[in-house]
Structure formats: C-alpha cells, structure tokens
Structure 1
Amino acid sequence: MSKSLLQHYYVHILLPNKHRIKSLHLSNPFTVDFILSSSNFLSKLNRLETFIIDHVESKCLEELLNHLICLPNLSSLTITSIDKIDHPNNLYIQILRLPVLKYCKVSFDEDYRFEPLTMATNEYSSIEHLVIERGIRLEVLHRLLSYVPQLCRLSCQSLIGYDNLSTEINISMKNLTHASLDLCHVRFNQLECLIMNYFHKIQVLHISGKASLEDLDANRWKQLILSHMPYLRVFVIRFIYHPGIMYNQLTYDSLFNQFNSQFWFERKWFFDYRHCSKYGRRDGIFYSINPYKGKDYRLVGKMNENTRLYHQETNLNSVRHVYIYGEQIMNDCVNYFSNSTYLTLYDSFSSRTRSFTSILNHIVPLQQLTKVVIDSHSFSFQKLCELLRSAPKINSLIINSAILSETSSVSMRQSETFRSVSNTNNITNVTIKDKSELVDKL
C-alpha cells in the first residue's frame, strides 16, 4: 500500500469509524509507523477487541504498547517483531498490564543475556491463553507464569533449557488445562520440575523435541503422570532421536517396547517409530499415533521389523494433512486419503520421475489440495510446475528457495507446463524459505 493510499484510507475510513472498530491488523513496519505518528489514534479505539501487529520493528513496540494500556475492551493481542528485542522485560510488563487481555501471542527474538523478570508479588494479568512462538528460556517462562494465575492454555514453540528452575516455587496454576511445548536443550529433570510445579490440573499435553534416553523412558513418564498429572486425558509426543555407535537401534527398541503395557493401552495412548533420512542424516522419530482427531498422517517409512508397539489404524477419511518423507515412501504407500487438502513433502525427490503426479494422486486427491509445503533441496522446479498443473485449487504454497534455481532456464520458461501454470494457477500466498532472488512469479 502506498503512502497516499494509506493516508486516504486513514482519513476517510479509519478516523470516521474509530469508535466502531473492533479488530485491527497492521501488517508491515510502514503502516505501524504511520499509525503511531497519527495523533494518538490507537488510544481512541475504545471498542477495539483484537489487535494484530505483524513485522513490527522492536523500537516501535514500547510506544505502541503505551497507547494500548487505556483501551477498555482489548482482549486479544498478537505481536510479531522483525528484529531482536534487547530489553524484553519492559515489553512483558507492558503486555501484562493490559487490563482485560485474555489472549496473547508474541513472536520475537530475545537477547538471552538479559535478566528475567522479577517474580510477581501483587501485580497479576488477566491472560488466559498465552502463545510464545519463538525461543524463550525456561527461567523466563517460570517468571512469566507467576503473573498469569488465570492461565488456561500455554503454547511454547521453542522452550530453551539452558537455565535451571528455582527449587523454591510457590505458584498456583489452578486453571492451566492445555499445554504444548517444543523442547530445545531441555533435560528431562527440568521438564519434570516444570510439570510437577505447574501441570497438576493439565488435561491435554503435547510435547516435542530432540530426545535423550531419559525422554523415552516409559516408566519415568508413567510415574510422572500418575503422581503429578491425574487429570491428563490427551497425551501426544513427538521425539526425534539419533541412533549411533553409543546407543544403537536395539537400545531404542528396548525403550520403545516399555510403552507396550496396560497403563498406555487403557488410556488409548499408542505410539510408533519410524526411520527417515533428512538432508543425508539418518534419524528416528518416536511419536503418538491416532492422536484423538487423526487429522494429520505421516508417511515416514516402513515400520522397523523389531517394533512390537500396539496401535490402531487412523481413520483415513478423517485425515486432512498428509506428510510424505521422501519419494521411496510415496512409492510404497498403499493408503488413500480421500479428504486431505494439505500436503507436506520432505527429503529426497528425484527430478527424473515421470509418474510423480500420477503416483501422488493415488495417495491424495490432487484436485482438492489447497495448501502445499515443500521442504526439500532436491525437488525440481519442473516437478513443482507439474504438481501445480495437477492441483489447480492450491492457493497457499511454501517452498525452499533451491527450487527456484531452474527458473532462469530458457527451456523451462518455454515449456508447455510452465506456460500453463503461469496462466492458470490460483496461488495467493507464497512463502520462500532461505534467501534467494525470485526471478519470476508463477
């Protein structure tokens, strides 16, 4: 949006309706700067309930939050910063002081050298649902939780375990029933401490990350659940592990078989493991299967012959999102996901495969797909064009920048497939991972 158009929009639409606006979304630094320079406009939005700020510069955040403190109805706040926050404590305090805030989602990189907040004593927030999208240290989370006694749902997409939690914790989280944690360098004893202190009322727990042997100890999990999570009804885990010389696959097989017991069966918590080779490294994935709704399905590879984990088959008709980890797995698949609309492709895909879309169409209905993610360095641009031609309803596409290396080819530009896709695709949202120049647009 140009400056003149934004000015027109502000004068003729926003200002005359400032007392009617309930939701506002600022999507780039330019619009944020403009709004902040517009004579306390934000502080006059008395009916504003939902405020979303994307791609904001950190230098603007404190001023922006100062304008929000007087809003009597602001219950939902989403902030995404484009650069690192040097002093996040000030921002946390400003957010926590918003008087009626219920939902808060923050996404910014912190300077990990800063000192965490002091523990809350007599100042508390009304936040009930907290989502932290980027990295947050364990000790910082601990301090934050002391300010949100009404918290019901917590999601941390990168919980960093460099700190040790204080042993003197006196925080009551009587309302916390849902938690989702993606762990980064969090040791199992640290996770135990977090669970023992905060998760007594937890009902739904999702845990993911890279696993140590302790993370895969079924008996330790059993005791933790029985002693400290008596209300837990949904338990979903997804751990990546690395078989090697010190701990080979037989070691992991022994651990996995511990999950083959009555305790897990009677709760309908079932698990499986697969091997995959991503970017040349052989990893394993230990994960929950048939997790309650069954909307996701991962084609990772053939089940290891030593596996004896009991499980039930997912209802294929309920699957909406299919993950395929490599071309060989795709070739071996015998399932058909008739209602899927979302496809994610990982790992290796040969550029020479002539029947790629034909094989894929026997797994997912290409005509129904609306979103595709391709996280592969070997996926060719030609194959992408073939996929887009066979799946004309795709409106959202996420790809690796390596795929675009072929766009400068004259023969590719002149191909019938490329010309057809250029004229007929319905894509409105494109995300390109890694840095690369986009030579042309589809």
Structure 2
Amino acid sequence: MSINSIENFSNEFFYEIFDYLDACEIYYAFSNLNYRFQQLINSSSLLLKLTFNYSQLQEIFMNNYQQILHFNKNQIFSIHLWISENTNQIISSFTIDSSFNCLESLIFDSIEPDILISLLPKLICLPRLFSLIIDTCSIEKDLGDIYRLIFNLPKLKYIKYTAIESNDFDIKISLPIATNEQISSIEHLIMDHPCALDELFVIISYTPYLRHLKFLSLTDRNVNIKNIKPIKLPNLTHLSIHIYRKMSFNVFDTFISKLNSKIKILSLTTLVEDITYLDANRWEKFILTKLPQLEKFYFKYSAYFEENYETPMYFGQCDQFISSFWLQRQWILDIEFDFDNIIYSIRPYQKRWYEYDTQNQIINSSDELSKSIRLRLDEVCPEQWTKTIYLNDYINHVLCLTHIYHLEIRAKIFCDKLMEILHLLPDVITLKIYSLSILKRENLSKDEIEFLYILLPKNQIQKISFGNMKDTDELYMLILICSRINHLHIECINYMHAEWLIELILTEIKVVSNSLLRLLCFSIPEANDEMCEKLQEMIDRENLRFDFIIKHVMNKIYLQWI
C-alpha cells in the first residue's frame, strides 16, 4: 500500500525519528499538531533527550523546557546542561526527585563548583542514574568534597570529571581511604584533571568494581610510590594514562605492580624525559611479567626539540621493536614529526595503502611486518622556526632507534628537500606524498638530470601514493627520483581526473623501455564497474596498452599488466 500522507506512518516510524531529536524540538514541532501526536509525545514508550544549549535558550524554548520538566519527567532519559544564567533559572525551578525514573544520563557543561556541590546531593534519589559527565569551568582547589558526593550516588556506573585550567596543577583531592560502607558502584572512571598517584589510589579505594580507568598524571608534587599501599582491582581490564609530569619508567612499573589487576588494554601517553620508555627490551620484560594478559597496547612517547635544550637520545641496540615479541602481537612502531616533537607510537597493526593487491588482501607475514615501521612528516623544514635545529637532527634521533621503511610526507615539499630526506633514509621502500613542488621539466639542465641519476641509485622505493597530482612534471620527477617504482597509487578528484591521469601515465611509460611500473591504483569517490568499462574502452581506443587487467575494488580501480 502506498503512503501518501505523513499520518499513515506507524508509531514506530515516528519513534525512530524522535530518537534523533531533542525533546524540546519534538515538543515544538509536534505537540500541537493533533491528538495522535500528543499521545505519542506523552507515551511511556518515548524516552526523551533534553539538551539545554545557548542557541535554544529563547523564551519559546524555555517555556517548552519548563513544560517537559514538569509534565514528562518520567520519560526523560538524558539531560545535557550547558550552564548559563538561563539554565540556572531552570535548575532552580524544578525539583529533582525519584519521579525522574527513566533518567540515566546527566551532563553538566561549564558548571561552577559551588553549583555542582549543591546539585550532587539531590541526585541520590534518582533510581536509574548510571552515567554522569561533569565539566567545571573553573577549578576548585580541592576536589575531595566533589568526589565524596559523587561516590554517594548509589547507581552510578560511569563518571567523567573534567577540571583543568592552564596553570592549575597544584590542586589536591583530600579524601580518606574508603571504608566498606563507602564503596561505590562505579565501573568506568575518567579523571580528566591533575591527580597525584597517592590521590589516585585513595580515589580507586572507593571503586573496587572498576573496569575502565583513565587519569592524568599532571602534578609537580613529589610522591614516593613505594609508600603507597597496593590495591586490588580484579575487574580492571582497561587502563589509560597520560603522563605529563614526573613519572619515570621505574615509577610506572611499580605503579602497575601495586594495582593487582588483569589489564587487557593499556594506553599510555608520556611527555617525560625518561628515554627508558623507548627501550623495547625493557617493555618486553615488563609486559611478560607484569601484564601477561595484555591484548592491546597503545603507546605514545614525545621527544621534544627546542633551542638550548638537549633532547634525550636512545643509545641502546637498534631495531628492537621488530623482535618476535612485537611481531607476534602485531604491535607496530610508528613515528611522526609534529612541529617541535617526534612522536613515537606503538599500536596494533592496521592495514595500509600499499598492502592491498587487486583482491584487497592484506599482507602481514612476519617478514613484511618487520619492515612496517613508518615515518610521517607534518613538517619538513624545522630550520625555518629555529636557528640550530634541522631536519637531520630529527631523523638522526629516529635512526638511533630504528630503520625506516615507509615514508609519508603530509606537507608541501620541494624536490630538493625530498631528495635530501630520501638520501638520509635509504631503506624506504614506499612513499606517500601529498604535494610536490617542482621545476618544470624543461627547466632542468642535462647536467642536473645526470646528477639525479648519479645521486639516486640507492633509492629502494617501489611503491608511491600521490595525493594531489596536477601535471606531467610531477609524474616525470617522481619517476626520475624513484626509478624502481612498480606500484603507483593516486587519489583522484573524480572519474575525469582518473581518466586524464591514466592516459597521461600510460603515454609516458610507453616511451620508456625499462619502466618497472606494473600496477596503477586510482582512488575515486563512488568508483564502480561502469568506470572500469569506460577506462578500458579509452585505453583500447588510444592503443595505450593491450596486456592489462582492470578491476574495481571498493573505491579503487586497479590497472595491472605483466
């Protein structure tokens, strides 16, 4: 049966639509239409999400908010408050009580600590308050009272508490160790504020059922980790730590030992100077003895570069992050240059652009994984910002730790700079580049071209991905620099761009007798089989190649020949 009126849609259809809308929007759009919609809005089957934000705090919306809070309490599933003068009026105008019997989630954005402290005791009566997110707009110097009130909420499972200002690292959390009568039901705790280790152990003494824990080590206060009593968290499986202040690897090791947990997923970000964090053998021993059940490992270490500052260097044995321990778990080292930092990362292996053939199969043998270490450059000329720090300083820091096999350059780069980088990284076998600035082909002298041929025979690059190829000169220079290329991948704007490039490339290599190029891959939005057919017709019509296979896989079109 055809539907020719909105009235003919089922109630379930409208409930599906309402799920994407704020309660006030639903009320404003549908409440006065007719009796049916009035019944739908007031039905216990409809759970309402209420959001108070600056754009909706007009008088007409305020009236709707007031009515919903008074007449639809038992339908409200979540409330998100951006605290302002108007929302303060709303808070004071209604009573929080057990009639909010479906309210499971509360979010307080930019709330003043004194308002928060006055509100938290009122939340105890909510029978289904499972999730609480707090973002305070100014820091209370002592967060102890707020945590004490949070731990009194009887049904709470998830809490995220954010309280950070740029210069407030001296806050404290004054709480005693929990007694058996003070145990909280919290299972997921995110502490997005400064916290010393002794304070952390006091807080988690209230949460023995904890499964997920995230906290910031962001304080200058010295704490002797050896004086902290161990705690048992048998359910804790997910741990995330951001270390911005004094926590050496030795302290971190002791901290994990005192948790007595079965961590399965560990995420660690550190900005401290302890170069031991880059010791793969130390990590291997630590994980095998302290975290034997670890399944996923996410790690970031930032090496900071600044004038008149001596960045710590790694002087241990090179290439230790490709031992069997790391390869068996497929935890791969990744490196990124980000302005004045080198970011060393360990993360579970993910597919990369160069590891797909026309069947979209991934290559992940131990041999391939051992050569999977990638360097990504967001900045290629640090010397423009400093007088004494150069790109080769960054690269030398990396090469003390590992060889580099894959290079991504996400900044616009000139040919001479690209050649300088490739000269410093002779083991690179794939190159992903987004924009290459070059001289026109006719501007290269014969001597310059001969110099390139002499300079680049050690270049091992076989696969190239190009993000923004605009003319033949870029292609010419890439093929000249990377003479061993056999796989070329290009991001295309549309089908016409891909067709132009295929004709350009096949024409170019047709006159090169020793070209090793055998595979072209074009990423095209909404690629389809019809595009393949049109490209095949064009290639045949222009007599560009005869011995080729063309195939469409997801958003890519592959062109391959022997």
Q: CA deviation at 1:129?
A: 0.8
Q: CA deviation at 1:21?
A: 0.9
Instruction: Please say if 1:140 is aligned against 2:199.
Output: yes
Which string of whole-angstrom CA distances, capped at 9 and with x for unpartnered residues, describes residues 21-51 of structure 1?
A: 1111112333541233114246642221111
Whole-Å separation in 2 of the counterparts to 1:21 and 1:87: 33
Alignment of 1:90-129 (within 5 A): 90-109=145-164, 112-114=170-172, 116-122=174-180, 123-129=182-188
- Identify the match of residue 264 of structure 1 among 313, 326, 331: 326
Residue aligning to 1:194: 255
Q: CA deviation at 1:102?
A: 0.7
Q: Match of 2:130, as an amino acid?
A: S
SS across alignment from 1:285: strand
SS across alignment from 1:239: strand
SS across alignment from 2:322: coil
Residue aligning to 2:286: 224
Q: Any conservation in 1 of the 2:297–2:348 contact (CA below 8 Å)? A: no
Residue aligning to 2:68: 13
Residue aligning to 1:287: 345
Instruction: Please say if 1:84 is aligned against 2:139.
Output: yes
Residue aligning to 1:236: 298
Structure 1 residues 167 and 86, CA, compared in 2 at 3 Å: closer, same or farther?
closer
Q: How many residues align structurally?
A: 336
Indicate the structure with greater helix content: 2
Structure 1 residues 13 and 274, CA, compared in 2 at 3 Å: closer, same or farther?
closer
Q: Match of 2:320, as an amino acid?
A: Q
Residue aligning to 2:118: 63
Q: CA deviation at 1:366?
A: 7.9
Q: CA deviation at 1:217?
A: 2.3
Q: CA deviation at 1:117?
A: 1.5
Q: Match of 1:239, as an amino acid?
A: Y
Q: Any conservation in 2 of the 1:77–1:103 contact (CA below 8 Å)? A: yes
Which string of whole-angstrom CA distances, capped at 9 and with x for unpartnered residues, describes residues 175-212 of structure 1?
A: 11011111111222221122111163000101112142
Whole-Å separation in 1 of the counterparts to 2:302 and 2:101: 48
Larger relative contact order, structure 1 or 2 (CA cutoff 8 Å, min sep 6): 1
Alignment of 1:300-339 (within 5 A): 300=377, 304=395, 306=399, 309=402, 326-328=411-413, 334-335=431-432
- Per the normalisation by structure 2, the TM-score is 0.52
Residue aligning to 1:167: 227
Whole-Å separation in 2 of the counterparts to 1:311 and 1:232: 27
Whole-Å separation in 1 of the counterparts to 2:400 and 2:211: 37
Whole-Å separation in 1 of the counterparts to 2:331 and 2:251: 24
Whole-Å separation in 1 of the counterparts to 2:267 and 2:261: 15
Structure 1 residues 252 and 121, CA, compared in 2 at 3 Å: closer, same or farther?
same
Alignment of 1:363-374 (within 5 A): none
Whole-Å separation in 2 of the counterparts to 1:366 and 1:87: 54
Q: Percent identity?
A: 29
Residue aligning to 1:25: 80
Q: CA deviation at 1:146?
A: 0.8
Which string of whole-angstrom CA distances, capped at 9 and with x for unpartnered residues, describes residues 271-291 of structure 1?
A: 133444x2xx4x322112554
SS across alignment from 2:75: coil
- Identify the match of residue 268 of structure 2 among 179, 199, 207: 207
Structure 2 unaligned regions, length at least 5: 1-55, 354-373, 381-393, 419-429, 438-466, 471-488, 495-562
Whole-Å separation in 1 of the counterparts to 2:261 and 2:403: 28
SS across alignment from 1:193: helix
Q: Any conservation in 1 of the 2:170–2:219 contact (CA below 8 Å)? A: no
Whole-Å separation in 2 of the counterparts to 1:359 and 1:89: 58
SS across alignment from 2:76: coil
Q: Match of 2:231, as an amino acid?
A: I
Bigger Rg over Cα: 2
Q: CA deviation at 1:162?
A: 3.0
Which string of whole-angstrom CA distances, capped at 9 and with x for unpartnered residues, describes residues 56-110 of structure 1?
A: 1122001111110111110011111111113311110111111111111111137
- Identify the match of residue 149 of structure 1 among 208, 211, 223: 208
Q: Any conservation in 1 of the 2:143–2:173 contact (CA below 8 Å)? A: no
Structure 1 residues 170 and 95, CA, compared in 2 at 3 Å: closer, same or farther?
same
- Identify the match of residue 75 of structure 1 among 121, 130, 146: 130
Q: Any conservation in 2 of the 1:54–1:79 contact (CA below 8 Å)? A: yes
Whole-Å separation in 2 of the counterparts to 1:233 and 1:90: 37
Q: Match of 1:285, as an amino acid?
A: I
Whole-Å separation in 1 of the counterparts to 2:490 and 2:237: 36
Residue aligning to 2:33: none
Q: CA deviation at 1:142?
A: 1.6
Residue aligning to 1:299: 376
Q: CA deviation at 1:234?
A: 0.8
Residue aligning to 1:415: none
Q: Any conservation in 2 of the 1:158–1:184 contact (CA below 8 Å)? A: yes
